Structure 1
Amino acid sequence: MRVNSKKTLTALLASGLITVVIILFLALYGFNSKEVYLVINDEERVVKTKEDVLEDLLAEQNIMIKGHDEISKRLDAILIDQDKIMINYAVPVLIKADGQSDVVYTTADTVKEVIEEQNIELGPQDEVSTPLNGKVIKSLEIKVTRVETAVEAVQTPIAYDVVTIEDPTLQEGKENIVQEGSDGVLLKKTEKVMKDGKIISEKVIQEVVQIESTNQILAKGTLKPIVKLTNASPDVAEITVDGMTFGYKKVLNNVKLTAYDAGLKSTGKSKGHPQFGITYTGTTVKEGHTVAVDPNVIPLGWWIYIEGYGFRRAEDIGSAVKGKKVDIYYDDGNFVEAFGTKRGYTVYVIGPEKP
């Protein structure tokens, strides 16, 4: 009976020792094991590990870290229970700006952050191909277009005009500059919009005349050379009026008609003056017969035919009767006053004999 008791005790002791060893092993294992939170690209997972160094944990989990990737702790950092490790993988992004194209690796979340990382300054008008708040993805292309608006001010000449006037005192065919012309100055402001240095639009936004131009005034002579008519001058044509046909030596167009009487206002002579009513040729004035002319145009003593007034004889002259002008005699001073000046008449110069 005693022998059996010893065997039983030995067995019990052996069994208890094994149990203690197992308990100690489990306790030791549990003491060394840790829970670590891995957050990779914003995705979190929990891993259990006995590794004490971060680099060993990553190797255990087959997690590779490259040069552009971001990790919240050094690879040789010691791990503790409930540790949190942040890992962001860098992605390649193509950036085109200022004439260059570069592939960069970034862990930024938004396009704006990538641009700031690369120290690219954006002007107020610059354009970005992708929204600044857009999410960064692998192989994203970001193009920055430089936009500038410039205002250019340029002065341009305003050409002067040539204004032609007729000068009846200047011989026909002659010209005379009465006033010299001068160019003006126009200030033109142009707005140019450029993208990456190339003009894409251009418009005039303001035009201001700084100096007005001065017209050149050119006088052209209309005075025709005077051709002296004589009895020997041939008739140039014939005309038929009121059933009468007669020849004429000269036709005057656009003749000006006025009227005069024998009184003081017209001739400077009053009744009682020895020359009152006497013409320059010595004849006595007669209504329906006498006219005053410019002898350089119509010879004195010659008959003329006035369109609308009939035949008259050139017997008188006057200080105001010059060129293509005929002063018709009337007895009534009131009628003369009302006659005024009539323009645009045709006068035929006939000769010393009445048709």
Structure 2
Amino acid sequence: MLPNAIKRLFQAHRTKVVTTILTVFVLGFATFFAYTAYASGEKTLTLEKNGKKYSITTRANTVEELLKEQNIDIDEKHDWVNPSLDADVEDQMTVQWKEAHQVDLSVDGKSKRLWTTAMTVQQLLDQQGIKTDQYDTVKPESGSEIAGNMNVSIDRGIQVSLFDGKKKPTHIKAVAHTTVKQLLENQGITLGKNDKLLPKDRNQELNDDEVVKITRVDKETTTETEPIDYEIVKQNDSSLEKGQTRVIQNGEEGQVEKTYEITKATDHKGTTENRTLLKKRVTKNPKKKIIAVGTKVIQHQSQTSRSLSSSNDTVLYMQSTAFTASCKGCNGITSLGINLKAHPSSKVIAVDPSVIPLGSKVWVEGYGYAIAGDTGGGISGKKIDVFLPSKSQANRWGTRTVKVKILN
């Protein structure tokens, strides 16, 4: 009996163990298949957010579900998503998302507000088709990252015309807000202490198409010696017959030293010169010329007076001017060959030969006896030109009407 009981007990235990093992096996197998079924719904893909790539695992079915799963708040109107939000999510795919930002873009002071998915300022400019060069100022710099509510400004470079003295004008490209001083420094231009600059304010900012003008100014001093005309003094002389004159003292020119400042201003139009008298010093005083003028009236009629009062004498009233031998274009030789420079005391008048024949002896009121020894382009009709030794005497003679007798 005992052995059979033990046998039955052993068999019952073995059955229980086998049942437990089978139960564990079935549960493990079921868990494996359940996990495999769950895992088979996941996908591994690349998510690119604003240019940065991430490897993620997801069970999302569409791109929109994927982005919401990643806590990305999508602005469907402005953000950029690729592929589209309703596209199916597939294993090993790449989903791209770029967030849009609102930016205020200003070009030369003209602003506009826009949305952009550009990552940098340069990308924004490329999207807008805006070209820049080295003279344009972009703020923030082109490599800066775009952020929301950003202000991006572009100041275009300027064109400036530079006139430097007599050099050929140059046209220079410069960045905006360049000052006059900066332009000169960039061009390696140095100004002299007397040079003139326009605009005058070196800190002034230049505008597009503005002109910068430099006038080069040179100054020097020079001393020159100039003559001083002598004075002619007339004295009445009762011992001389009225109408006659006699030189008591010959005149001599004086000398004066004058120091001038000469300023030469040169610009693109040429050079102008200005002379300023700084000082003068008389080195030699002039000597007066003294002339005795006769006042004596002769009561008896001499042979000469009879000739003057002869009924055959021609008396004319003529307009008279005066000339010298040193006038511009004059050689000092008269039409009759008289050398006035060699004989400055000669009494000679220029005439119109059709009125007073050349070689005629004449008497001129206020001048005395003379010879009609010259002609002149401006001497026509009842007009004469009396010769005087110096320019100052000729100036004092001026223009006057005189009585002229042609002596026979």
Alignment TM-score, normalising by the size of structure 2? 0.41
Higher relative contact order (CA 8 A, sep 6+): 1
- Provide the TM-score with structure 1 as the length reference: 0.46
